[in-house]
Structure 1
Amino acid sequence: MGSTGASPGRPVETRDRDSEGRARNARPRDGLGRPLPYGVDGVARQPEGVVRTPQETVREAQTLLDAGRPFHAHEVFEDAWKSGPEDERTLWRGLAQLAVGLTHAARGNVTGGARLLRRGAGAVEEWAAERAERRPYGMDLAGLAGWARGLAGRVERDTGGRVDAGAEAPRLRGPKAP
């Protein structure tokens, strides 16, 4: 824990900081990334700033999605977005938005979930439309966009609440082979 300091008449603000002094929230989190009270056991967080190959990114994100941890998959995509080549940033950002959209839908946030699912679908479609490569790193971008729009519509229609993140997880490389 560190202190940001205070000005006269203002209380000292205590913030979690990493070894380099950057603000980090060290509170434990649940499987959907929601903060839990300090001292409670949470789900292990994804390390930030990991540079992976695109294939490693897809593989790790799929494992997290299948485990019902889309918030954590979003962090893996975010690392690729921030560390990858400039011409792939729209792709990885769109995939991160899909994962966050699923996170919000699983938390019961209908509006945010549907909005981010559609935004992510548009980003991956936009990226694919600008290139001849429609299956980067083996991913089925058209299938992902269709999945996202379909889930967004179901989330909006079914006002009964949350979706099961693991059951609704997309297949990044398309349907499983029989």
Structure 2
Amino acid sequence: MDRDRDRDRDGRARSGRPRDGLGRPLPYGAEGVPRQPEGLVRTPGETVREAQRLLDAGMPFHAHEVFEDAWKSGPERERDLWQGLAQLAVGLTHAARGNATGGARLLRRGAGRVAGYAAAGAGAATYGIDVAGLVVWARELADRVEAAGATVPDAAAEAPRLSR
């Protein structure tokens, strides 16, 4: 395998390096956490359960990949929901990596993207996701990580509850 440019079966560039729980690349040969399979089509309930399991384990980067599959395979009308949830997971990832600015920005962007689903009420498909609670969580965490002298959050301890 060419270490300069890993490729998947279809020839697309794809890093073969192992990753840690926060998605950071590790040296070749190091033991990382298992990657999420890409392109899986899950039901919304399966998506929420798997993402919650990963968030609870302190692996928000991997939860983001689960949400990414949902936005790519789901109906267009739900795209902002799944993309926003992916942005919340990546925001937590960046904050837990010590990138307060990027983490806060993504947390706020994700909160803004999903907020419309809370406002839409029963007419929007949210699959039991506590959208309003996630918006509050994301904005509060963004404020905390940007505060002067803030400590880097622990991803598992800061993991949100997705469902009501």
Q: TM-score range by the shorter chain?
A: over 0.9
Decide whether the 8 Å contact of 2:144 with 2:150 is kept in 1: no
| Corresponding residue of 2:63 | 73
With over 3 angstroms needed to count, the CA separation of the structure-2 counterparts of 1:158 and 1:135, relative to structure 1, is farther
CA distance in structure 1 between the aligned counterparts of 2:130 and 2:90, rounded to whole angstroms = 18
TM-score w.r.t. length of structure 1: 0.87
Worse-matched range after superposition: 44-53 or 151-160? 151-160
CA distance in 2, matches of 1:164, 1:133: 35
- 8 Å CA contact 1:124–1:145 kept in 2: the answer is yes
The residue aligned with 2:152 is 162
Structure-2 change in CA distance of 1:141 and 1:134 (3 Å): farther
Name the residue aligned to 2:105: 115
Q: 1:94 aligns with which of 84, 87, 98?
A: 84
Give the secondary structure class of the aligned counterpart of 2:127. helix
- The total of aligned residue pairs comes to 164
Cα distance in 2 for partners of 1:90, 1:127 equals 9
Unaligned runs of 5+ in 2: none
The 8 Å contact of residues 66 and 169 in structure 1, kept in 2 or not, is answered as yes
* Paired position in structure 2 for 1:151: 141
Identity %: 73
Residue 42 of structure 1 is matched in structure 2 by: 32
Larger Rg: 1 or 2?
A: 1
Indicate conservation of the 8 Å contact 1:135/1:141, yes or no.
Answer: no
Structure 1: which 4+ aligned runs deviate by more than 2 Å?
A: 126-135, 158-161
Tell me the TM-score normalised to structure 2 length.
0.94
Q: Say whether 1:61 aligns with 2:51.
A: yes
